[in-house]
């Protein structure tokens, strides 16, 4: 089963928030990370962390399998 989340849904998700808290990641840092990566991917940059090659903007879906 695959579930898709927008960046805003991922930021607001309570389970993701619990995992982030356990990892010592505050919500603002997590949001900034997702938004920065979204902008980087939208520009087509190949530097920095990559999990896949599709472009993503703030309304894009994150894929979890």
DSSP 2-33: -EEEEHHHHHH-HHHHHHHHHTT--HHHHHHH
Asked if 60 and 9 touch (Cβ cutoff 8 Å), the reply is: no
Asked if 64 and 5 touch (Cβ cutoff 8 Å), the reply is: yes
Q: Is the pLDDT of residue 19 over 50?
A: yes
pLDDT interval class at 45 (50, 70, 90): low
Number of CB atoms found within 10 A of residue 5's CB: 16
Q: Is the pLDDT of residue 28 over 70?
A: yes
Kindly state the average pLDDT of the residues 42-52: 64
- Report the distance separating Cα 58 and Cα 33, nearest Å: 12
Domain map of the chain by residue range?
Answer: 1-44
């Amino acid at each position: 089963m695959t579930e898709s989340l927008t960046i805003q849904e991922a930021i607001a998700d309570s389970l993701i928030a619990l995992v982030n808290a356990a990892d010592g990641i505050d919500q603002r840092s997590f949001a900034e990370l997702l938004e920065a990566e979204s902008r980087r991917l939208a520009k087509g940059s190949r530097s920095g962390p990559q999990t896949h090659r599709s472009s993503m903007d703030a309304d894009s879906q994150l894929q979890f399998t």
